[in-house]
Amino acid sequence: VSGTIRNYPPQCAETSATSGVLLGNFGSSPITISSWVASAPAGITTCGGFASGSKMIVTFSQDTNRAHLPSTGITRTQLDQLFAWNNINVGSSYTGEWTNDRTLQIVILDPFGASPPQIGGVIASVRASADLRTVPPTTGAAFPTAPAMIGYFGPPSVALSLFEALDEDGADSVFSVGDEIVVAFNIETNRGGLPASNITKTQLATVFSFSQSLGKSYVGYWPSRSTLRILIVDPTEDLTDTKPYPPTLGSAGLRVSILTAGGLTNIPATCQPLATTSGAITGSFGPSSIAVSEIRAFTIGADSVYGVGDSIRITLNQDTDRGGYPIGASVTYTATKLLFNFSQNPGDQFTGVWDDARTFTMTLFGTFNAAPPTLGHLIIGIFAGGGIRNYPPQSAVAVGGTSP
């Protein structure tokens, strides 16, 4: 009979049989892990780190046979059989579900004992023994390694707590060699992946951006995981930097931005990286040397007493930032008394004006509450509340510096 199969040499009866399932494969698996994403528990407003309700969402490059696992209620044991964790403990209890044929969601029920998994770390690989295959299953079992985990388990827990200029030697009142800038945070950080010391200008730029140029050369170091200090090595102007120079203090002064791409976050790295911009830098690049060098009375009247139209000109020993007031702008008597203090009360009926960066003139329109001031006795000093600094503003706020 045509098509019959017997043994060889043909001695037995004709055979009729069905094979077992097809073994082997038609090539290696193309399945990869496209992403491994951390996700925060629903409804949280602060980051508790890797906590109950945290999720890890694993997305494969194409539909799979789900490694023969159920769609929902996947146990810890089954997940451990699917994944080889990369020296990471993911807690004492967790479950999984396939939201579709290529997306697996792992939900943490109890994080006790967790390492925990960190943002930017490689969490796991698929075990070959799990038999994860394409649909239909034509290739070998896939055993891809996950890319670095992205996402986060909660909003930022790191906050900027201090941005300050320091001049520990007090040798001058300007931005100079040896000055330092301190950037401090409320908790220990992962340092944005930067080394602990000898951090170059280029490396610092991957995490921090400054609103003004810090000169040609500076180096950073972390005395602790919560504090970065930047030491000025060469403060001369970097002509390749288009930002304003030199760095200044005051309301329009230097600011620092923490870049999202820098990945600065808590340690272990579980929360969203910090992205923020500081207020104007505090502190100073040195002590103030501003002082009153002369005070002089002027009159336009024919009388011989302190009165309407008389003026007092205050001259300082150097250019200043005028406490933030523009040249030529009227300054009230209240504001003037925040800039300067007087050994004799000049009264409450005068206005002031900055004639230039070092000369301030007070002009009377009345003598109410005046002592009055007298020649040879009136002394004027600089009041700290006025915020007068050198120009450009780099020194500490001037105080004292009384007239001769």
Strand partners, 296: 313
DSSP string, 328-372: T-EE-HHHHHHHEEESS---S-EEEEESSSSEEEEEES--TT---
- Given this model, what pLDDT does residue 47 score? 93
Record the tokens describing residue 297, joined without a space. Answer: 């009375």
Structural tokens at position 137: 């299953």
Cβ-Cβ contacts under 8 Å for 386 (sequence gap 6 or more) = 323, 335, 338, 339, 340, 397
Compute the distance between CA of residue 173 and CA of residue 167 in angstroms, rounded to an integer: 9
Q: Picking from 92-96, 98-102, 184-188, 369-373, which range would have the lowest pLDDT averaged per residue?
A: 369-373
Helix/strand/coil for 126: strand
pLDDT for res 113: 95
pLDDT classification of 169: cutoffs 50, 70, 90:
confident
For the ranges 118-122, 266-270, 300-304, 350-354, the lowest mean pLDDT is seen at 300-304
- The answer to whether 42 and 51 have CB atoms below 8 angstroms apart is no
Residue 214 one-letter amino acid: L
Q: How large is the average pLDDT for residues 359-365?
A: 96
**pLDDT at res. 3:** 65
> Which structure tokens are listed for 209?
């951006």
pLDDT at 1 over 50: no
Q: Where are the beta strands (DSSP E) in 141-243?
A: 150-151, 160-166, 180-185, 208-210, 217-224, 227-234
- For the cut 60, the answer to whether the pLDDT of residue 53 exceeds it is yes
Residue 137: the pLDDT is 80
Using DSSP bridges, classify how beta strands 217-224 and 227-234 pair: parallel, antiparallel or unpaired: antiparallel
Question: Is the model's pLDDT at 193 over the cut of 50?
Answer: yes
Mean pLDDT calculated for residue range 115-138:
94
pTM of the shown model: 0.84
pLDDT of residue 24: 64
**Two tokens, residue 293:** 């060098």
Burial 25-61, CB ≥16 within 10 A → b, else e = eeeebebebbbbbbbbeeeeeebbbbbebbbbbbbbb
In angstroms, the CA 211 to CA 57 distance is: 38
Which residues have a Cβ under 8 Å from the Cβ of 121 and sit 6 or more positions away? 86, 88, 148, 149, 269
Amino acid identity, position 393: P
Report how far apart, in Å, the C-alpha atoms of 396 and of each of 46, 252, 335, 358, 392 are. 37, 15, 20, 17, 12
Per-residue pLDDT of 76-106, as tens digits, reads 999 999 999 999 999 999 999 999 999 999 9
Contact criterion met (CB below 8 Å) for 218 and 201:
yes
**pLDDT over 60 at 394, yes or no:** yes
User: Residues with Cβ < 8 Å from 98, sequence gap 6 or more?
Assistant: 66, 69, 71, 72, 74, 104, 105
Report helix, strand or coil for 78. helix
